[in-house]
Amino acid sequence: MLVEHVLNDRLSDIAEKEPNPEASPNPVQEKIVDKDEARVDILLVEDDDADAYIILEALKNIPKVKSVVRAIDGVEALEIVDARNFVPHLALVDLSMPRKNGFALLAELKARIQVDFPSVVLTSSHAEMDVFRAGKNGAWKYITKKDKIHMMTQSLRRIVKKI
């Protein structure tokens, strides 16, 4: 059974940010939800197209998700964050990626003053050392990937609900 590890609840009350109306982040998908419901913008950092497909399909099933922008590695994710054209409420970060892996990305996000959104590790690794390293580098939660869309939706719905 896949296990979700709670690393840190210090970010349970994250302030809602208003998106920049002049920015055009070219979101992968956007859903319209009830205007009274808080809506969440997500930065997905995932290099594998098959995994990204399952994650994006799962996020489409969560009405609270407003938009998702995908970066294929940590370098591209930092470019998106530093450009400030897209300000996410949450980052979903894979650990194993080219150029800049998830551990290095988490450490750099943690070090940036302008970053005030939580990062959740979304990986296929079950290694306890990876859970520890992710938490030490600033991950809010650690979730193992699910290979079925409905299972991924359930896991991500619990995370998005807390944002």
DSSP H helical ranges for the chain: 49-60, 74-83, 102-111, 128-136, 149-161
DSSP state letter for 78: H
How much of the chain exceeds pLDDT 90, in percent?
Answer: 61
- Cα–Cα separations (whole angstroms), residue 17 to 37, 99, 116, 138: 13, 30, 10, 21
Query: What is the structure's pLDDT at 72?
Result: 95
Give the pLDDT mean for 14-35. Answer: 40
Domain architecture of the chain: domains with CATH: 40-161 (3.40.50.2300)
Structure tokens given for 63: 């009405």
Q: Name every residue whose Cβ is closer than 8 Å to that of residue 153 and which is 6 or more positions away in sequence.
A: 58, 59, 61, 62
The residue to which tokens 């939706």 are assigned? 153
Question: What is the arithmetic mean of pLDDT over 71-82?
Answer: 94
* Range with the poorest average pLDDT among 14-23, 28-37, 70-79, 104-113: 14-23
Q: Is the pLDDT of residue 131 over 70?
A: yes
pLDDT at 64 > cutoff 50:
yes
pLDDT band at 49 (very low <50, low <70, confident <90, very high): very high
Give the separation between CA 36 and CA 53, rounded to whole angstroms: 29
**Position with higher pLDDT, 24 vs 82:** 82
Average pLDDT, the chain: 80
> Residue 33, SS3?
coil
